[in-house]
Amino acid sequence: MTKAAKLQRRGVLLGAVASPFVIGSARAADSLKAYSIWPENYARPMLEAFEKATGIHVNFIRFSSGEALARLIAEKGNPQVDVLFGGPVETFTAGEDQGIFDAYTPPSAADLPGRFKSTKGMWTAIADDPLVFMTNTAFLKDHGLKPPTSWNDLLNPAYKDMLQMADARTSGTAVTRIFSILQVNNRNEDAAFGYMKKLRKNVQAYTKSGGGGTVPVGLGQAGGGIFFIVDALFTRQKGYNVEISFPKEGIGSAAECIGLVKGSKNTAAAKKLIDWATSPAMQSLLAPAKINFLPANPKVAADPNLAAILKSANIIAIDDKWAGENRKRIVDRWVAEVLNAG
């Protein structure tokens, strides 16, 4: 929003007499608009840096992945934004199926491995985000436990009703988690669901957002959970005593992506943002800003601390194509057999 528009709005606010119809249309649409799935404290420094670099102001609003997608689908006839910024790849593949994106392949895409870009150019990765086990240090000590290093460690009765993790209906974190479990079970669905049903007994709450359980774990209200590394490390940065560990069997990772919204009214600027976000220009800013995503662009090195933590990790690949095709069925099955089993 321009300074002038802001001043005008303040004037109107003071007067509070003008018709809202007039105000609605008087507000100029002179900048790039985006829905961000990244939280504000990650997205804001990035998009401000973009404005500094290009002079294009990005007006954005943050939604969780499910909400952002639902809005984009609902707004198909009258798109309100130009770009969907951040968010796990599964949201983008679902959006691709719904036809909410226009194809655009940024120059950096050429440098990216296959799992970081859509075959049709509908989305491109800007970062990578592995899942981790995060546990409360005091809880582990009280129960004489070590940080879990196997999926089966989480089935320990000591965790009964003490785990928090995300609900697959709203959270990309949860979907990535479920596909990780399928993957370590070699896509044997019955085995994977058998495990999840056993895990269900230890789950205290399935949270709406991927990071929803981090503070309860930090506070000790929950003993542990499965989160994206970016949320886990942020919890630690805030001062909570938590342990981060990885299952030896392997755990998945979600590409964080960007996509051009179909019907964008400012495609030139939108493409500039996509170019910038997929390039080292943005991704080299992540580490200095203490944002613990792994850069997607191979030309940017990961933060040494992050790399150290991930050294012990066995990150496995999830077939995004297979995941996208089976997502609805798997999530429905999870809702029916796991969530509602309690």
Partner 1 sequence: MPADAAPAFATPGALGPGRLIGAGGMLGLWLLLLLFIVYPLAMLLVRAFYDGGHLALGPLLSTIESPNNLRALRNSLLLALLVGVAGTVIGLVFAFTAERANLGRRAGRLIDFATLLPLISPPFTTSIAFVFSFGPRGLITYDLFGIGNIQVYGLTSTFAAETITYFPIAYLALRPMLASISSSFEEASFSLGGSRWHAFRTVTLPLIIPALANAFLLLFGCSLADFATPLILAGSDFPVLPTEAYLQITGMFDLRSGAILSLLLLVPAGLVYYVQDRFVAGRSYVTVTGKAATASRRDAVSPMARIVLVLACILMTTVILYFYALLFYASIVMAFGANSTLTLQHYRVIFTEGLPAIEDTLFIALIGMPLGGLYGIVVGYLVGRTRFTGRKAMEVISMLNYALPGTIVGIAYLLAFNDKPLALTGTATILIACYVFRYSPTGIRTTIALLQQIDRSMEEASASLGANTVTTFRRVMLPLILPAFFAGLGVVFIRSMTAISATIFLVSINWTLITVKILENMTEVALGPAAAFSVFVIVVVLVVTGLLNLALKRLTAPSLRVSRIGT
What residues between 65 and 94 interact with partner 1 by CB under 8 A?
A: 66-67, 69-71, 73-75, 77-78, 80-81, 94
Pick the binder of partner 1 from 46, 47, 50, 60 (CB under 8 A).
60
Which CB, 268 or 341, lies closer to partner 1? 341
Closest to 260 (Cα-Cα) out of 249, 250, 268: 268
CB nearer partner 1, residue 53 or residue 219: 219
Of these, 8, 98, 156, 284, which contacts partner 1 (CB under 8 A)? 98
Residue from 2, 4, 30, 40 touching partner 1 (CB under 8 A): that is 40
What is the rounded distance in angstroms from the CA atom of residue 19 to the CA atom of residue 168? 43
- 205 scored as a contact of partner 1 (CB under 8 A): yes
Kindly state the tokens that stand for 53: 């670099």
Give, as ranges, the residues between 236 and 295 that touch partner 1 (CB under 8 A).
Answer: 238-241
Work out how close the CB of 153 gets to partner 1 at its nearest, in angstroms, rounded to a whole number.
19
Which 134-163 residues touch partner 1, going by CB under 8 A? 161-162
| Contact residue for partner 1 among 114, 288, 304, 340 (CB under 8 A) | 340
Query: What are φ and ψ of residue 205, in 5° steps?
Result: -155, 140
Q: Which stretch binds partner 1 (CB under 8 A): 60-68, 263-271, 275-283, 305-313?
A: 60-68
Nearest Cα to Cα of residue 322 among 227, 196, 187: 187
Q: How many residues bind partner 1 (CB under 8 A)?
A: 75
Which amino acid does the sequence have at 317?
A: A
The whole-angstrom separation of Cα 318 and Cα 56 is 35
What is the phi-psi region of residue 204: left when phi exceeds 0, alpha when psi lies from -120 to 50, beta otherwise?
A: alpha
What single-letter amino acid sits at 291? I
- Helix or strand run (H / E) with residue 174: helix 172-184
Say if CB 159 and CB 153 are below 8 A apart. Answer: no
CB closer to partner 1, 4 vs 23: 23
